[in-house]
Every structure is written in C-alpha cells, then in structure tokens.
Amino acid sequence: MLDLIDEEIEPYWDYYIKQGDDGVFAQEIYRYYAKFQHPQRKILKWRPERDVYYYKSFQLDHPLLKNKWISGEEFVTFLTTIQEIEFAELLKERLHPYDEMAFYFDTKEEAKNISRILEDNFGLDLIDSIYIDKAYLCEGECHDIEPIATINMDHLDGWFFCDSCQSYFPGFFAKEELLKEIQLYETQPTRNEFYTRKIKRSCRYHDVGFRIYLSFRINNTIYS
C-alpha cells in the first residue's frame, strides 16, 4: 500500500521537494501531498489481527496403503474406499494447500478430535509422527498455512511470511543493517523491486533519508 501511494503521488513530487514555493497552486498541492505522510506512518506500523489455525500432520502405516508417505488427498480417497465416508468428507474440507498428509482446523479441539477418530478407526500402532501446532495464514502471495513455530516473527518485525514468500523481502532492516544495505546498493545497484521496497520501508521506519531507485522517475536524489 505504501508503494501504491508513492506511485500515485509521483507526478507531484517536485511540489513537495520545493515545499510549494512556486505560487498558490503549488502551495495547495504541497499541502495535500504532505497530508499523505500521516497515513503512511500509520500504515508502516500497522499489523493485522490474525486468525489462529491448528496445523495437523501424521502418517498412517496401513497394510492397504502402498506406503505411509501419501498425500492428504490420497488419504481422503483411501478413506472413501474403506467406506469411511463421513471421516473423508470432514478431512476433505481441511486439506492443507501444499503440505503432504497435512490438514488445518479452526480450533485445537477439532484437531484433537481427528486424533481420536484416527485412533478409533486404525489404532495407535498404525499412526506415526502426529504433529499439532498453532498456525497462521502467510501474509505473502501464496496463502500457505504455516505453523507459527517455524517462522521467526521477530526477524520480520511482527509480520508472518513463509520461507517462500520471504524472497519478497518482507519486514524491515535493522538501522545498522539498513545503512550497510544502502552503501551496498550504491556500489552494486539491483533491479529487484522487492529488495528496493524493503530499503524504502526501512528508511521510513528509521527516519533515514532514502534514494528513489525504482518507483520514481527522479533518480539519485535523497528524500526524507
């Protein structure tokens, strides 16, 4: 959203830099432009209220299965073939979008109930590697449901991105790290849009002047 605001007001950047010193209309544009700074600061510090899910995975070493390394979808099909239709329908709605033999639930009680159904139908001897953990929806583009314990949220400054979406450079650089990154960018400029956006976000976050490398046509000028 910060980048979208920047791109919308790009054509009027000169009015802000010159602080509206080119007449009445320039002053009016400058005042409107300056008003964007407050919502941008609020957006910068905003964090979403997240729904908590419960991630569950397991393996089933059943003689009718070709092996225990089957997918959740294959397991649902297997349940149908052995006439466990109600159980199959329950799990079908909770298939994890990416992980093998993994499901997600709205409450811990639902996840535990699945364990009880598994035990009743197959016995503990056939069930292996049961794992239950709290999970969040990734705030990147993949919409993965990832166990919270696998992500270092301090590193992401409170955001929640899976390992794949971290290639989009979410979060902020620490101030010392940011200054090093700016120096590195000066000597080795990159065209990676997401890396550049992280530099800009970090500059705003730490009140450090930043150069407009990508989004704006005005190049090599420091703004704050």
Write down the mean pLDDT value for the chain.
81
Query: pLDDT tens digits, residue range 114-157?
Result: 989 988 888 888 888 888 999 999 988 788 999 998 887 776 77
pLDDT surpasses 80 at 216: no
In the prediction, which pLDDT does 93 show? 92
The segment with the largest mean pLDDT, out of 137-141, 168-172, 188-192, 219-223, is: 137-141
Interatomic CA distance for residues 109 and 29, integer angstroms: 56
What are the residues whose beta carbons fall under 8 Å from the beta carbon of 130, sequence distance 6 or more? 56, 57, 58, 115
71-77, long-range: CB within 8 Å, 24+ apart, which pairs? 71/100, 71/101, 72/96, 72/99, 72/100, 72/101, 72/102, 72/103, 75/101
- The runs of H, that is alpha helices, within the chain are 2-9, 13-17, 24-35, 37-45, 72-81, 85-92, 108-122, 175-187, 193-206
Nearest to 40 by CA among 87, 77, 4: 4
pLDDT category, 189, cuts 50, 70, 90? low
In the prediction, which pLDDT does 191 show? 59
In the prediction, which pLDDT does 16 show? 67
pLDDT category, 221, cuts 50, 70, 90? very low
Give phi and psi for 50, each to the nearest 5: -100, 140
Classify residue 49 by its DSSP letter: P
Choice between 119 and 35, residue whose per-residue pLDDT is larger? 119
pTM of the entire predicted model: 0.69
Percent of the chain with pLDDT over 70: 86
Q: Where in the chain is the domain with CATH 3.30.70?
A: 53-137
In the prediction, which pLDDT does 64 show? 83
pLDDT category, 20, cuts 50, 70, 90? low
> At 85, is the secondary structure helix, strand, or coil?
helix
Please say whether the beta carbons of 54 and 134 come within 8 A.
yes
Choice between 15 and 163, residue whose per-residue pLDDT is larger? 163
Query: pLDDT tens digits, residue range 146-185?
Result: 999 888 777 677 888 888 888 778 778 888 998 888 888 7
In the prediction, which pLDDT does 80 show? 92
pLDDT surpasses 60 at 212: no
**53-137: which CATH number, 3.40.198, 3.30.70, 3.40.50, 1.25.40?**
3.30.70
What's the count of helices (H) and strands (E) in the chain, helices before strands? Answer: 9, 6
In the prediction, which pLDDT does 86 show? 92
pLDDT surpasses 70 at 217: no
Interatomic CA distance for residues 22 and 32, integer angstroms: 15
Joined tokens for residue 46: 């905003």
pLDDT category, 96, cuts 50, 70, 90? very high
